[in-house]
Amino acid sequence: MATVLLVEDDPAARQGLELALRRLGYEVRLAETGEAALGGVCEAAVDVVVLDVMLPGVDGFEVCRRLRRGSDVPVIMLTARGDDFDIVAGLEAGADDYVVKPVEPRVLDARIRAVLRRMARAGSPAETYGELVIDRASLVVRRAGREVSLTPTELRLLLVLSGSPRQVFSREQLLDLVWEHDYLGDSRLVDACVQRLRAKIETDTSEPRYIQTVRGFGYRFGPV
Amino acid sequence: MRTRLIIAFIVVAVLAAIPAAWLVNLVLPYYPSLASLAAMPSPLSHLLLVPPGARTLAHPRTVAVVVFCLVAGALLLAVITGLAVAASRRVLLPVRRLARAAQRMVGGDLSVRIEPNGRDELARLVTSFNMMACALEDKICELQRMEARARQFAGDVSHELRTPLTAMTAVVDILPGHPDLTGDAAGAAQLVSQEIRHLNRLVHDLIEISRFDARTAQLVVDNTDVAAAVAACLRARGWSDVVTGIPAGLTMPLDRRRFDVILANLIGNALCHGSPPVTVQASIRPADGGEQLALLVRDHGPGIPPDALPHVFERFYKADTARSRSEGSGLGLAIACENTRLHGGHIEAANLPSGGALFTLRLPLPQAAPAVLPDGEPVTVTSS
């Protein structure tokens, strides 16, 4: 079963969430501070980080930014405020998804499962689009011959979009296909992930070649 | 100001013109060459005190004295008029500045002050005006601070409640139906679990409304199919006995989550307080300068009591004070209203003559703008 690193400074919330996650079958590691979380990810094999935003010392956003420098582990932000500012800042820091406190265990479970789910490997040969090579068999993406390091969410988004080149996907559809959110998902998740993906695969993010915006509709892959 | 000056000069000119004309007539017989001029028809001839052609005899010296007196008189008149205008300017200018300042205060600018000029009564009036503006500004600022503190407090309390609620919500599912809990313990566990959910909803709504008060609520707009959004709202809440009549293909840019909150509150309210059938209809109607979406939610219950009608969108308002508590937080319609306002629209509540309540949601449609494509490729939009 997957190992969750739960970063939460409030003892009661930490204890409650730990209990709920264990009952859902997860292996749970705990961290009380941002510093402890950064150490915890390094020393133990962690599959997913559930990260509180409001932490003493190094806050959740900073933890997420530092994690992203060397790791593609999925991060779910746990925000007590649900403020738009918090959510946008969390997504910009590199979070894959977020939940608003107080979160029901089944919701947190669904989110964790979604970010952990990998795309099914396909037997098809690697596809080449300009400088970009997408290998669905090995789930590896190369740009100009060099492997691009993607989080599971970024990879899924790229595979979904490139699976039907030129087809426009609405943000709602992408939320459903990539994040498995219900019909009320937050479309800013898609925008933030597209930005991160562009930063990794595009040569010029202001004039994207691969992930193109179709204003008023959504996104599409190509035409390259 | 300029108009008055012009009028003053015209008056002086006319006053000076009458004796001048008389003078001309007086002098004419001595200067025959000018007589031909006087014979010409002119508007001035009406002003002549002596009819043209009449024989009038006066010595040129007398004429010179008269001319001198007249010119001096006209000049004196002009000087007096100038002085009068200057004096009126001295009075009128500060009064006008006061009027302008008062207008700005009416417009909400309480920082307006006037530089007092001199030491007269007008200067004292200006000083008093400044003091009044100062006092008013302080008072309003204090009131705004108090209101902001109260709102901040409500927001802070709600946020603080979230941390203990997080722990409780995480474990509450363990309690109901637990085999170790029987009899009273099982009942208590059921009650605690149910009330934690209620508290969750209340805190959620309080935080939502405090975000509107703090003006931090933002719209995340997507092109939305209205019929699909209504169907999804009903499906997600298991409301199967609602009749909908919304044309297919009616789409507009909406914040999906906020639109769902509006729908859920209006429809939930109709289901809770009205009687079936509850109907939801939508259409595009012309509105001032453009078009709007009109979404009508009606029920067939007793309607809203007339004295409650103006208050239904107020926070925690309950039409029936005897009813201790309803399903919701008491903030539902207030939140629906705020979300609608964020979209630039409004909600109206009314009673139908045939019985039942009617809530009408009106949202303005933006001017149609085609999808912009980077390279002119045709768009393939999949239907979800």
Q: What is the pLDDT of residues A59-94, one digit of tens each?
A: 899 999 999 888 888 999 988 765 666 788 888 888
Q: Quick check: B168 and A170 CB within 8 A? A: no
Q: What is the CA radius of gyration of chain A?
A: 18
How distant is the Cα of B204 from the closest Cα of chain A, in angstroms?
Answer: 9
d(CA B383, CA B370): 18
- pLDDT confidence band for B142 (50 / 70 / 90): very high
Residue A119 identity? M
Residue A3: CB atoms within 10 Å:
13
* A195-214 mean pLDDT: 92
Is B222 close to A101, i.e. CB distance below 8 A?
A: no
Beta strand A127-129 pairing with A97-100: unpaired
Q: What does the alpha-carbon distance between residue B225 and residue B229 come to, in Å, rounded to a whole number?
A: 6
Q: What's the mean pLDDT in B86-107?
A: 87
| B41 has pLDDT over 70 | no
Please state, rounded to an integer, the average pLDDT across all residues of chain A. Answer: 88
- Predicted pLDDT of residue B376: 37
ipTM: 0.79
Q: Tell me if residue B280 falls in helix, strand or coil.
A: strand
A-to-B residue pairs, Cβ atoms closer than 8 angstroms = 120
Best residue in A88, A101, A106, A204 for a mutation probing chain B (most B CBs within 10 Å) = A101
Mean pLDDT across the stretch B331-355? 93
Mean pLDDT throughout B166-179?
89
Count of residues for chain A?
Answer: 224
Contact A173 B173 (CB under 8 A): no
Distance, in Å, from the CA atom of B68 to the CA atom of A71, rounded to the nearest integer, reads 105
pLDDT of residue B24 exceeding 80: no
Give the model's pLDDT for residue B382: 40
Cβ A16–B375 below 8 Å, yes or no?
A: no
Q: What is the pLDDT of residue B135?
A: 93
pLDDT of A167 reads: 93
- pLDDT number for residue B48: 47
Output the pLDDT for position B33: 57
Q: What is the pLDDT of residue B333?
A: 93
In this prediction, residue B52 has a pLDDT band, given cuts at 50, 70 and 90, of low
**How large is the average pLDDT for residues B189-218?**
88
Judge whether residue B53 has pLDDT over 70.
no
Provide the pLDDT for residue B371.
Answer: 44
- pLDDT over threshold 60, residue B23: yes
Neighbours of A56 (CB within 10 A): 10
> For residue A67, what are the CA distances in angstroms to A39, A42, A70, A95, B261?
10, 9, 6, 10, 35
Closest CB to B162: pick one of A101, A169, A216.
A101
Contact B61, B31 (CB under 8 A): no
B159, B163, B199, B372: best to mutate for the A interface, most A CBs within 10 A:
B163
For residue B97, pLDDT over 90 is answered with no
Chain B nearest CA to A52, separation (Å): 11
Please, what's the largest Cα pairwise distance for chain A?
Answer: 52
Which positions in chain B touch A80 (Cβ < 8 Å)?
159, 162-163, 166
Close Cβ partners of B314 (under 8 Å, ≥ 6 residues apart): B334
Query: What pLDDT shows up at residue B298?
Result: 92
Inter-residue contact A178 to A170 (CB < 8 Å): no
Please confirm whether the linkage preceding B286 is cis (ω < 30° from 0): no
Contact B162 A188 (CB under 8 A): no
The model's confidence at residue A24, banded by pLDDT at 50, 70 and 90, is very high
Q: Is the model more confident about B369 or about B328? A: B328
For residue B371, give the nearest of A19, A183, A217 by CB distance. A217
Whether residue A41 has pLDDT greater than 70: yes
Answer whether B170 sits within 8 Å of A20, measured CB to CB.
Answer: yes
Quote the mean pLDDT of chain B.
Answer: 81
